Amino acid sequence: MADLHEIAKQALAEISNCADLRELNEVRIKYLGKKGPIQEAMKVMKDLDEEGRKALGKLANDTKNMITEALEAKESRLQEEELKRKLEAEKIDVTLPSRKKPLGIAHLTQQVITEIEDIFLGMGYTIAEGPEVESDYYNFEMLNLPKGHPARDMQDSFYITEDLLLRTHTSPVQARTMLKYKGQGPVKIICPGKVYRRDDDDATHSHQFVQIEGLVIDEKITMSDLKGTLAYFAKKMFGEEREIRFRPSFFPFTEPSVEVDVTCAKCLGKGCPMCKHTGYIEILGAGMVHPNVLRMGGFDPDKYQGFAFGMGPERIAILKYGIDDIRQFYTNDLRFNHQFNRTL
């Protein structure tokens, strides 16, 4: 009997000394195997009386259980340690460059267009489109620019035939839209698109550029509505702290006509070198739709009033990012395009 206690003691000591799973397995075979010391101790069983057998049996069983438990505990500890070592060996340098398929980048002009579109979509506008190859009639005459009008010189045009030209602004889309509405308001659209002027390409001029114009017509549209709309737009586009101002101007298709300035990003209106000390930067042109334009578009100017505005997304991007050459927008030097890889 004392043997079994001794065996248990010895087994526990050996288990505790095991350094790895292989040693532990040897201990297991040594003590719990068919030729192990417990089996050996059991050989005296047949010489004992029943009570003695019972006692020995129980003791042997307890001893086995004790050893088994110890083995299992040790085994799980060893497994844990081994896993830990393995994981340590698998350590990587997480600062190495990732593995990824690079994402493409939307063209800067398109990013600005989308941003502007979304602001106006949120204000209940829809987006109208129209042809780039236009007739003189839609591009000029419907916009109060009859043939021979000196203001046509403001927009030197590429002509295709006597009557066809590349549109010089997206206003013909407004004209077409007005006709589509057949004199029934409300109209509330913006028209983004490519336009063309007969300008030599240089750092500030491009024979092709993008314009976004807006048109709102209804019975009681006022110039204060125009100012409120553009003030809201300027805050959304440039930041809540920005304000706008109107400066009188001239466009044949609006009356009154204004240039719209937004407070300078840097000085917010106080004046600094960036805004040539004016405190403001010109961003768009606007005005109340000229009664002749309303009339030619099929709207009764005694009943309807409207406002219109136009801006250049490239110019807005130039102001926003300080780009020094408009030709960059069409060169597609990927070192340029890839700089604009996030919104705002």
- Please tell me the distance from the alpha carbon of residue 168 to that of residue 175, in angstroms, as a whole number: 14
- Please tell me the distance from the alpha carbon of residue 166 to that of residue 260, in angstroms, as a whole number: 26
Closest distance of CB 115 from Zn ion, Å: 23
Show contacts with another protein in window 102-131 (CB under 8 A). Answer: 102-107, 109-110, 114, 120-127, 131
- Please tell me the distance from the alpha carbon of residue 1 to that of residue 40, in angstroms, as a whole number: 12
What backbone torsions phi and psi does residue 214 show, to the nearest 5 degrees? -130, 150
Q: Is the CB of 32 or the CB of 223 nearer to another protein?
A: 223
Closest distance of CB 257 from another protein, Å: 7
- Please tell me the distance from the alpha carbon of residue 216 to that of residue 172, in angstroms, as a whole number: 15
- Applying CB under 8 A, does 265 fall inside the site for another protein? no
Q: Is the CB of 90 or the CB of 200 nearer to another protein?
A: 200
Q: Is the CB of 37 or the CB of 185 nearer to another protein?
A: 185
Number of chain positions touching Zn ion (CB under 5 A): 6
Q: Which of 29, 45, 55, 133 binds another protein (CB under 8 A)?
A: 133
Binding mask 180-199 for another protein (x = CB under 8 A): ------x-x-----x-x-x-
What backbone torsions phi and psi does residue 70 show, to the nearest 5 degrees? -60, -40
**149 half-sphere exposure, CB direction, 13 A CA radius:** 16
Q: Tokens standing for 166? A: 């590349």
Show contacts with another protein in window 228-247 (CB under 8 A). Answer: 228-229, 231-232, 245-247
Binding mask 5-24 for another protein (x = CB under 8 A): --------------------
Considering only the stretches 104-112, 211-219, 244-252, 258-266, report the one whose residues sit in contact with Zn ion under the rule CB under 5 A. Answer: 258-266
Residue 5 CB partners (closer than 8 Å, separation 6+): 63
Encode 3-32 in three state secondary structure.
HHHHHHHHHHHHHHHCCCHHHHHHHHHHHH
Q: Is the peptide bond before 256 cis (omega within 30 degrees of 0)?
A: yes
Q: Which of 1, 66, 83, 154 binds another protein (CB under 8 A)?
A: 154
Closest distance of CB 89 from another protein, Å: 20
- Applying CB under 8 A, does 132 fall inside the site for another protein? yes
Rounded alpha-carbon distances, angstroms, from residue 249 to 209, 210, 216, 304, 321: 22, 21, 20, 23, 27
C-alpha angle with apex 204: 201 to 209, nearest 5 degrees? 65
Show contacts with another protein in window 196-215 (CB under 8 A). Answer: 196, 198, 200, 207-208
Closest distance of CB 142 from another protein, Å: 18
Show contacts with Zn ion in window 275-304 (CB under 5 A). Answer: 275
**Which residues of this chain interact with Zn ion, rule CB under 5 A?**
264, 266-267, 272, 274-275
